[in-house]
Structure 1
Amino acid sequence: MNITENLKDYEQVRGLAIQSLFEIIEQSSEGTVIVDRDANIVWMNERYAKRFGLKSADEAIGQPCEQVISNSLLRQVVRNDQPILLDIQDTPKGPLVVMRLPIHNNAGTVIGAIGFALFDELRNLSPLIERYLSMQAELASTRSLLRSRQSKYNFAHFIGTSAASLDVKRRARRSASAESPVLLLGETGTGKELLAQAIHGASKRAHKAFVSINSAAVPHDLLEAEFFGTAPGAFTGADRKGRPGKFQIAQGGTLFLDEIGDMPLPLQSKLLRVLQEKEFEPVGSNEMLHSDVRVIAATSMDLEAAIKRGEFRADLYYRLNVLPIQVPPLRERLEDIPALSEAILEELHSQHELDREALVLLAQHAWPGNIRELRNVLERAALLSDDLVLNAAEIRAAIGTFSPVARNEVKTVEGETFAAARARFDRELIAATLEACEGNVVEAARRLGLGRSTLYKKMVALGIA
């Protein structure tokens, strides 16, 4: 058999296949219509004609397709030479699932279009529709969960223009552009979680989840499952499907570990592995999961003292303490109280204001509970006051146990000049800071807010070895 005969056989088989396919679809479909290059109907089967109220298909021949099928898109198919494979076609007797295809001659030129009405009852597509709706529901749920785990705060929410506040915000902004762990140090109520959310919100991970877990708030025997999740049926009472841990939920985002100092030692070693190897095993599983999470830890505990007591791993401390940020207590930034008070009252949707004596009193309290205590005092005073301007007496009553700020008495030497007194103060301050930093000049310069070279010059001038 030569090539010419092969081609004839191919064309014959192809033609029969096309004819057979047309007959199968035409017989099994709810209707078929064919239009020419001007979108005029040249053929329509009887079932389709009756659906549109025609007595016979002959009545449709020669008419524009839109005159018979009011919202037909066959003209668009002819014009654009592009099929519309699945669509919903509204008809007087209910919707149809339709397919529209262009028709070409042997030269490849569009000479018309054909439309098949595949289903007249959409329930035939119910498995596909159900799967689509299920996927849509899962997607909506995931988006909702992600929205609920977006950071709520940015750096503007860390209120204050004192030197201490500005230094904290400067260091926090710098850490946002890095991927290294951040360690937030400070007393309870100073705003460590707010800063953690602000760092996340300013980082390249901001579009992913911010997940927090408080090591002190979860029973120790459940902490590992909270962190790393559980495999299906890992232990009695465990979820049959398994349960994702915080590291899995925070994947691609930020995990905030609050009160890291209260984490039990066995879990500390597992956390260290995640930080170093970027992988972990869920409880009850042998499968190793990859972790892409930025960790921000916070504590009100003296971790160096905890290390000496054997309560905190030194290697984990060094791994977390890459970017340390010391969040100052409110008593060390009392000049921020007016702005903080205004912001808190606004957040409480209160119309109250503070008079001058009230602000003076607020600056005299040591605030052991820090900003959280300040908010509590202002909320209580606003609720109990009959006036819109809060006075000192109302603030004093709201504070309860008053803790006056410790004021260092100025040490004076008889006959000492101002210059000599200033030099003595500088000498004592620098010497005390160096002692606190165990002779580390770089750390002492950071705490004093000086450049390293500036501190060296002052040490030489003041005779500090």
Structure 2
Amino acid sequence: MPNMSDTRLPRDAQSILELAARSMFDLFANASEGMLLVDRKGRVVWINDQYRRFLPALGYAREEDFVGHPVSSVVQNTQMHQVLETGKPILIDLLTNKAGTFVVSRIPLRDETGEVIGVLGIVLFDHPETTLQPFIAKFARLEQDLNEARRELASQRRAKYTFASFVGTSPAALEVKRQARRAALSASPVLLLGETGTGKELLAHAIHAASPRAGRSFVGVNMAAVPEALMEAEFFGVAPGAYTGADKKGREGKFKLADGGTLFLDELGDMPMTVQVKLLRALQDGEIEPLGSNQLIRCDVRVVAATSRDLAQLVREGRFREELYYRLNVLPIRVPPLRERRDDLPLLVEALCEDIAARGGSAQHELDAGAQALLAAQPWRGNIRELRNVLEQLALRSDTPQIHAALVEQVLRQSGLDHIEPAVAPAVSLRSGPAVALDERPLPEQIADLERRAIAAALARTGGNRAAAARWLGISRASLYDKLGDMSENQTTV
């Protein structure tokens, strides 16, 4: 606001300026819906005639009950004190209190030295819902969009899965869930190891949901999806104005967003060495330093990491820091591939088909015994992710609720598999059907004979490749060598 006694102005110019100020004041006093004035202590010292009509709605029968009192105690939600403290005007604002909703302005008043000595409050409109309908409607829409975005963001930072989501009752599935439940009770880092598509991310969510941090944020970062140049900012945030084009308010990194909760580092083996150094320091000290800042920020984060790569080999090759490997490899959990838990395939197929139907809004498909057997025979290099893809294709291509083996074979061939394993014959039911001739040999001999035939079939199918045969049989290579050695000692030809 101009200084009315500025001696640097010519006398005529100063007179015109004072006249303009009085005219503007009179204009606002007559054209506005009300005006009030507060002094440097924030007390109401004057109101005009138009403002007096708001007093009953504000709860005051007499003017002396309003004037002379602190404005913050007689006007709800006022911001006059903020203008007093900062000296900055608030030209347009919405004020809602007992008397209604108003569009208001607040202008600081200064003395000859420039010190704020009071604030003039002006009620521009007292029915903004009609006089400023487009403005109010846009404001309401923006506020609604902001609230929805906040709710969506909050929901995304909560665990989406629990241990019940990890389908399977095989010994391998039960063991990995047992280890993960035990890890959930600890505050130490967890390292999930396994091939792609085995459910490592699902287990990370489940560990968080079962931990004492379940009520706080779950924040995930996929190392393979973030450009190396942006990874430091993604992790640790950016200080205000850290570089040209940076947000003036700064930006919080994943560590800060996960404060008090869990930070999930997916595809850990793809993390650049430069970021590994800062991650190690953050894990050791519990502090982060945003990009472009010298200030250290405390963060309480529990890390769950996952990788499909051989971290130990990367350490030997100098592509992963040894200190970080030991820092994260405290509670390692190996998530088994699907071919090591074939007994879970019927349950997985049913759960995946149910989810596919729910997402697509269609009826759930069922696979007959032949289709189930053909699926169970495949190696599933992409594991559950590959299985789901095949089931989605089957659901889209099937003209009937029931899916047969012929369609499964067609989809598998079109999926680009080099070789489709033949279906395994289903076991004979002992509860019904025609009588089967009983093998009178002792059970150990029958089991040994069945094992020999299974090994021979696996070696024949893989062209004598023992490593491939072991994978097909679902056993380790060492176990296969032991069995071949026993068979050789018994002079059994395979």
TM-score past 0.5 threshold: yes
- Contact 1:146/1:208 (<8 A) preserved: no
- In structure 2, give the amino acid aligned to 1:366: P
Structure 1 range deviating more: 391-400 or 133-142: 133-142
Partner of 1:307: 315
Task: Note if contact 1:97-1:122 (Cα within 8 Å) is conserved in structure 2.
Answer: no
Per the alignment, residue 342 of structure 1 pairs with 350
- SS of the aligned residue for 1:348 comes to helix
Q: How many positions carry a matched residue from both structures?
A: 321
Please give the alpha-carbon distance, in whole angstroms, between the structure 1 residues aligned to 2:156 and 2:391. Answer: 28
* 1:385 correspondence with 2:398: yes
For 1:288 and 1:23, the matched residues in 2 are separated by 47
Residues 182-226 of structure 1 show CA distances to partners (whole Å, capped at 9, x for unaligned) of 100000000100110111111222222211111112221221111
Whether the 8 Å CA contact 1:26–1:32 is kept in 2: the answer is: no
Identical aligned residues as a percent? 52
Where do 5+ consecutive residues of structure 1 fail to align?
A: 1-20, 34-42, 47-82, 88-94, 99-118, 408-415, 426-447, 449-465
Tell me the TM-score normalised to structure 1 length. 0.60
Q: 2:206 aligns with which of 189, 195, 198?
A: 198
Q: Tell me the amino acid that sits aligned with residue 186 of structure 2.
A: A
The Cα shift of 1:238 comes to: 2.8
Deviation at 1:236, TM superposition (A): 3.7
Give the C-alpha shift of residue 157 in structure 1. 0.8
The corresponding residue for 1:97 is 99
State whether structure 2 residue 348 is matched by structure 1 residue 355.
no
SS of equivalent residue, structure 2 residue 99: strand
Map 1:25-36 to 2 at 5 A. 29-30=52-53
- Contact 1:184/1:325 (8 A) holds in 2: yes
Which residue of the partner structure matches residue 280 of structure 1? Answer: 288
Root-mean-square deviation (Å): 4.0
* Structure 2 SS opposite 1:216: helix
How far did residue 143 of structure 1 move? Answer: 4.2
The alpha carbon displacement at 1:348 in A equals 0.7
8 Å CA contact 2:412–2:420 kept in 1: the answer is: no
The answer for the alignment partner of 1:397 in structure 2 is 410
Q: CA deviation at 1:375?
A: 0.2
Shift of 1:235: 2.9
Match for residue 382 of structure 2 among 352, 369, 372: 369
Task: Provide closer, same or farther for how the CA distance between residues 148 and 355 of structure 1 changes in structure 2, counting only shifts above 3 A.
Answer: same
Q: TM-score, normalised by structure 2?
A: 0.57
What one-letter code is carried by the residue in structure 1 that aligns with 2:99? V
Alignment gaps of 5+ in structure 2: 1-42, 64-72, 78-96, 101-122, 358-362, 425-441, 452-478, 480-494
Change over 3 Å in CA distance of 1:31–1:155 after alignment to 2: closer
Distance 2:160 2:99 in 1: 46
Which deviates further from its counterpart, 230-239 or 192-201?
Answer: 230-239
State the alpha-carbon separation in 2 of the partners of residues 417 and 149 from structure 1. Answer: 55
Offset at residue 237 of structure 1 (A)? 3.6
What is the CA deviation profile of residues 365-404 of structure 1, one whole-angstrom value per residue up to 9, with x for unaligned ones?
Answer: 0000000000000110111111211111111111221454
Of 223, 236, 239, which aligns to 1:215?
A: 223
**CA offset digits 1:155-191 (Å, max 9, x no partner):** 1110000000011111111111211111000000001
CA distance 1:32–1:120, change in 2 (3 Å)? farther
Tell me which residue corresponds to 2:275.
Answer: 267
Q: Trace 1:236-255 onto structure 2 (pairs within 5 A).
A: 236-255=244-263
In the alignment, which of 130, 136, 160 is matched to residue 152 of structure 1?
160
Amino acid at match of 2:267: E
Matched, 1:161 2:169: yes
Contact 2:266 2:307 survives alignment (8 Å): yes
